[in-house]
Structure 1
Amino acid sequence: MRLISFILISLSALAILASPSTSGICDGDGRALYGGLLASGTGPAPAEGEALSSPQIGARDDGKTPLGCVLSDEGGSMGIDGSMDEEGSEPVLDSHSLRRMMDITGISALHARNITGRGLTIALLDSQFYCDPETAGKLNADIVTLYDDESYGKDEVHGIACAELISSIAPGVKIYLVDVGITEEGVARAVERLLELEERIDIVSCSSDFPFGGFDGEDAVCQDVEKMTSNGTLWINAAGNEALCHWSGEFKDPDGNGYLNFSPEDESINLTLERGKEVSIWLSWKDDWEAAALDYDLRLDHPGRGRSVSDNPQRGYMGQKPVETIRLVAPRGGTYQIKIRSYDGADHPGRLHLFTTCDLDEHQVQNTSIGILGCCRNVVTVGAINISTLEIQPYSSRGPTEDGRQKPDLMAPDNVTTSSYATEGFVGTSAAAPFVAGCAALVLELFKDDPDLDVRRVLLESATDLGPPGPDEICGWGLVNLSNLEVNI
């Protein structure tokens, strides 16, 4: 259910998102992660060994010990009500956990002062907007749909769950629901549609992203982001759920056999799959996006026998992109091996990025695991902490960007209770981004008379620091916290 979509080339050709029926970014266990613009996973399941036409990337909450950031270092963890649990215990998800987090972070206090985001607009860029009558009753905000196809299945609720969170935190806002599909082109069309509105969009909340590109703020989709933010719109994006299913590094081949060495003795990354498990793998590198000249091949060796290969030519001709992708349903259970080959044997400069829809068994590189939208300039990128433990989720993607900028910017809770996901917690950074979007709306209303208001700066500087003092590449400036605002009560 982790849901932050990873928008892919066709992410379809690559995508990242989550819903009870779709796979999440790293695990494919039904928890969407990278919000997806990752594909929604609708349609019949492919036969075993068949390539997937619309893979998803998602994440899981598997109980692993979170790394890095915790709200308290006094031993144990802080409960959602602010109390300390005994070391080693884990609070149970409370059905009112979102309300308690709203109390902790000052949102409830602002509601008591009638600060609800009134008069402000939020564009929710996502997909899967199925809404049943019970969920509709929880959408307090004014809702406007900007999509043509309303034939969502009952399990396609990723986007509407995000709308629930915004409606709870900023019930006075007007929300535009914009279905961006699973491609970068979908994001571009959504931006153009929003710019054509007679009404100004104050905030964009996006729980989607793509796992291939330059990761340096120069990807084409960042130009679409710039079109929105140059007019004063605040763009908030999920960081993604790929920390455990990502590798990046330079191409090193000490023995000269053409295959990348992930370590001095290892030319492969192990990936354990069950029979019938859907898996997608993306490899991309820094090169001319329209006419790539560096040529790499991606290979997946099956256990026992067989292999899958992506060997698109990159010879500097127009239309050749620096991307290789493998998608299949595992024909048998066991350990698969990912390999990267340099086709022409040249000493290629620059870093490569590899993402999968399943956790890697080894050679994980958690840093630089944020998608290309989260790496865009002028974007507030949001990672996830577990609302029940207030510890960073192990799958939450980390920075920095390829050009050295610090990411993520903020942390916000996931594993929250929503009507859309019934008794299951809405996990992944897809849930964290709309939480911050709602907070931004409250800040905008609270300081509406300040002509010099910088909402991004207010959110960052009022956050509660997590982990080592100061901003870092795991938790950014910390947990969004409006109770730290200096205002006249």
Structure 2
Amino acid sequence: MSKTSAVARRVLATAAFVALVASLTTSPALGDEPGTEGPTTGPDGAPPPVSVEPEAEDGALADSGLRQIHADWLAGETDLPDVVDDAIRVEVVHDPGVTDIGAALASVGATDIVTLTDELSVATVAVASLPDAELLPGIGYLRLPVLVAPPVDPGVGVLPDDPGRLPGVPAEPSPQRLAPGPAEIGYYGDDILKRVRTAGWHKAKYTGKGVKIGIVDYFSGVHWDYAYSYKDLPKRPTGVFCSFNGTTCTDSVFWNQGSHGVSVAEAIHDVAPGAKLYLATVSTTEDLRRAIDYFASKGVKIVSRSLAAQFDGPGDGSSGPSVDLLNYAVKKGMLWVNSAGNHGVRNTYVSSAGRTVYYGGYWRGTWTDQDEDGWMEFSDPRGNVLPSEMMTSYCNAWIQGLRWNDWGTNRTDYDLYVYAWRSGSWQAVGSSANRQQSGPEVSPIEIPANLTCSGNEEIRFAIWKHHDGNGTANDTLELMVNGLMWDYVSNAGSAGQPYADSKNAGGISVGAVNVSTGVIAEYSSRGPLNDGRKKPDVSAASEFTSVSASDFRFTGTSAGAPVVSGVAALILQKNPKWKPATLGKYLRSTANRDRGAKGTDNVYGSGEIRMPLINTKKPKVSGTKRVGKKLKIIAPKWSESGVKVKYQWLRNGKKIKGATSKTYKLRTADRGKRISVKATASKSTYKTVSAASAKTSKIKKK
């Protein structure tokens, strides 16, 4: 089996990462010190979890996924995920600034060693040598590579029946299917152009021409060709890149069956038809770093990414591989546009008992264990449901992780268990039990890498406290999935996924508004983030027509991000010397209209992206440049009709009091000075803009 196909099993086949664990049937003894054994009872009366990992002895691997793989390899298993020729690609978390990590890893036989950031490297290590590698000086711990891209089309909106506490939940209705239209530009995506108001910019020849945009996603050749047949995409992208777990893909980038990435490209092409498109498909942090380097080598100036990622940092935009990579791209001159996520709370239905059931992709809360059995109790923030030790979801909900805010020393150690409903009872089908107590480098994050469920099978999450550490009193926990959980879900903080949490002015996170109404979508993720910052940065049109999308509509914040990317291309064509931070500031301040609460808020960000007026022909001053003579304005032109214009005459760049008509009679005070005029245009729902003429030669005496 090739490296590409091995990692693809973990990344793309389903959100259930496969491991052969069914043969382990004893209750776990997960502790690595006295008094910290694993649970001997299950949550909410469920049976104790079937062991899905070996006991963690002193010196055992801190990452439970690697610990499981190592134990299975020792037990003689031969078909293990990501293991090729008895070796596996791992991420190495190490002390910052250490210069001999490569030499240290090489001493235990590691190969293909690559440094990604000051604190993260990757290497291929023999499975037998994993424990030895983790004990090397300067190395904190080894872990399975964090995944930066979820499976495409995970079934968001389709809820399975709940055989337990909840009644059956119907599937979310699909958008109305559109009939295929004429093969001409504008039938699909025309609603974007009207909403974003690109017509005036296109008429002024701003189409993104000369701007290169990189798209990180998954792509189907069939969908691309179909969109091309309707002239909604070029025949082929300008360039492509594909890498899985550090290995270049052997097949074309067009291997996926989903329409997601093609719909992203189509939206960009609708808004910026003159831009050149570069495509990249990746799976890990290492792959994304390689893609950024590829984009930089091609002169890409905008990166559009409409994907989620597993937790890799505190979610405050300050640290973690995702923060480092985004900053790396911005330093290379690229604006980074990322979807904020579809983790917002939505109503699904009202039960026969009159109870409203809520669902979303995010939960946030504090540690609560009133019955003191070691299992955390989830509480409904709306008071509709009694506390429960289990959170309901389904297997296709790609798990981004459990994270808590204990990033200091002596961290609280929580474990995440996953149950599935089978044959009338709950059975444990996976867990993540990293050992935060083994060292300060082990992040307070748990991501199950060994689920044995599949498809729309219903699952439930349960959180076990393995070790008190410095106590639970100040711990805030977050659980996030790319998909759906229900009942115990939250809005505030749901915009804190990796790459969307950036503090960098050259990074933009995008929420979703309905293309017809401009109203925020219920699912659109919201702030504040863990450090109190407001997110998303902006919001943009979504739920618009798309020939490549299922049901011919592209929805989610995945749709909003490429709209912003296309808008950025138009602006960058007009201002080609702008740096990412300048472009990002313009998108946040000028190329949008305030929505929701006045000013920047945690729902719409600074506002909905809408193209501003632009001056297509500057005003000019004509007439004799002599005291006593009259100057007049040759009127400017604007990107839209129906514009109201006010004028202000200027003397050496400063206002001339009362000089606001279309003509100006030169005065004695103007002698030896240079005169110009500023035109200020306004139109309802547009932000006011100004344009100034060139200064005249010096005014002569009579």
Relative to the length of structure 1, the TM-score reads 0.74
Superimposed CA distance per residue, residues 246-296 of structure 1 (whole angstroms, 9 cap, x where no aligned partner) = 1022323344332223339624244265xxx6344431234569x995321
| Superposition map of 1:37-56 within 5 A | none
Kept in 1, the 8 Å contact 2:241–2:280? The answer is yes
1:171 partnered with 2:171: no
Aligned to 2:402, which of 258, 267, 283? 283
Aligned to 2:537, which of 409, 416, 429? 409
Query: Distance between the aligned counterparts of 1:353 and 1:166, measured in 2?
Result: 33
Q: Secondary structure at the match of 2:336?
A: strand
Alpha-carbon spacing, 1:445–1:272, altered in 2? closer, same or farther (3 Å) = closer
1:114 partnered with 2:205: yes
Aligned to 1:307, which of 421, 427, 437? 427
Alpha-carbon spacing, 1:453–1:359, altered in 2? closer, same or farther (3 Å) = closer
One-letter code aligned to 1:352: L
What is the RMSD computed on CA atoms of the aligned residues? 3.6
1:207 partnered with 2:327: no
Query: Distance between the aligned counterparts of 1:278 and 1:456, measured in 2?
Result: 34
Kept in 2, the 8 Å contact 1:368–1:398? The answer is yes
Matching residue of 2:172:
62
One-letter code aligned to 2:289: A
Kept in 1, the 8 Å contact 2:539–2:607? The answer is yes
Alpha-carbon spacing, 1:124–1:294, altered in 2? closer, same or farther (3 Å) = same
Kept in 2, the 8 Å contact 1:246–1:354? The answer is yes
Aligned to 2:593, which of 464, 476, 480? 464
One-letter code aligned to 1:112: K
Alpha-carbon spacing, 1:298–1:402, altered in 2? closer, same or farther (3 Å) = same
Q: Secondary structure at the match of 2:194?
A: helix
Matching residue of 2:368:
252
One-letter code aligned to 1:23: P
Alpha-carbon spacing, 1:28–1:429, altered in 2? closer, same or farther (3 Å) = farther
| Superposition map of 1:156-167 within 5 A | 156-167=258-269
CA shift for structure 1 position 411: 1.0
Query: Distance between the aligned counterparts of 1:416 and 1:464, measured in 2?
Result: 19
CA shift for structure 1 position 425: 1.0
CA shift for structure 1 position 363: 1.8
Superimposed CA distance per residue, residues 284-317 of structure 1 (whole angstroms, 9 cap, x where no aligned partner) = 234569x995321223444542332414241325
CA shift for structure 1 position 24: 4.3
1:145 partnered with 2:240: yes
Query: Distance between the aligned counterparts of 1:103 and 1:420, measured in 2?
Result: 20
Superimposed CA distance per residue, residues 33-77 of structure 1 (whole angstroms, 9 cap, x where no aligned partner) = xxxxxxxxxxxxxxxxxxxxxxxxxxx99369xxxxxxxxxxxxx
1:227 partnered with 2:358: no
CA shift for structure 1 position 340: 1.1
Aligned to 2:295, which of 186, 194, 211? 194
Query: Distance between the aligned counterparts of 1:105 and 1:484, measured in 2?
Result: 12
CA shift for structure 1 position 407: 0.8
CA shift for structure 1 position 129: 4.3
Matching residue of 2:562:
434
Alpha-carbon spacing, 1:240–1:469, altered in 2? closer, same or farther (3 Å) = same
CA shift for structure 1 position 448: 3.9
Matching residue of 1:268:
389
Matching residue of 2:150:
16
Query: Distance between the aligned counterparts of 1:302 and 1:376, measured in 2?
Result: 35
Aligned to 2:257, which of 155, 161, 173? 155
Matching residue of 1:67:
none
Matching residue of 1:295:
413
Kept in 2, the 8 Å contact 1:283–1:323? The answer is yes
CA shift for structure 1 position 487: 6.8
1:443 partnered with 2:571: yes
One-letter code aligned to 1:143: T
Alpha-carbon spacing, 1:412–1:17, altered in 2? closer, same or farther (3 Å) = farther
Which piece of structure 1 moves more, 472-481 or 157-166? 157-166
Counting matched residue pairs gives 417
Kept in 1, the 8 Å contact 2:158–2:172? The answer is no
Superimposed CA distance per residue, residues 406-434 of structure 1 (whole angstroms, 9 cap, x where no aligned partner) = 11011112222223226431111111111
Alpha-carbon spacing, 1:112–1:311, altered in 2? closer, same or farther (3 Å) = closer
Query: Distance between the aligned counterparts of 2:454 and 2:390, measured in 1?
Result: 16
Q: Secondary structure at the match of 2:485?
A: coil
Aligned to 2:221, which of 130, 149, 163? 130
Aligned to 1:184, which of 274, 285, 288? 285
Which piece of structure 1 moves more, 134-143 or 8-17? 8-17
Unaligned runs of 5+ in 2: 1-14, 18-142, 161-169, 182-186, 243-248, 345-359, 381-385, 618-637, 639-702
Q: Secondary structure at the match of 1:343?
A: strand
Q: How high is the sequence identity, in percent, across the aligned residues?
A: 25
- Structure showing greater radius of gyration is 2
Query: Distance between the aligned counterparts of 1:416 and 1:332, measured in 2?
Result: 27
Q: Secondary structure at the match of 1:482?
A: coil
Kept in 1, the 8 Å contact 2:306–2:558? The answer is yes
Relative to the length of structure 2, the TM-score reads 0.53
Unaligned runs of 5+ in 1: 1-5, 30-59, 65-89
Query: Distance between the aligned counterparts of 2:580 and 2:440, measured in 1?
Result: 46
Alpha-carbon spacing, 1:191–1:364, altered in 2? closer, same or farther (3 Å) = same
CA shift for structure 1 position 138: 2.6
1:339 partnered with 2:462: yes
Alpha-carbon spacing, 1:229–1:157, altered in 2? closer, same or farther (3 Å) = same
Aligned to 2:509, which of 372, 381, 384? 381
- Structure scoring higher RCO (CA < 8 A, sep ≥ 6) equals 1
Kept in 2, the 8 Å contact 1:208–1:430? The answer is yes
Matching residue of 1:77:
none
Superimposed CA distance per residue, residues 208-230 of structure 1 (whole angstroms, 9 cap, x where no aligned partner) = 22142321111212111111112
Query: Distance between the aligned counterparts of 1:332 and 1:241, measured in 2?
Result: 19
Query: Distance between the aligned counterparts of 1:364 and 1:485, measured in 2?
Result: 43
CA shift for structure 1 position 456: 1.5
CA shift for structure 1 position 345: 3.8
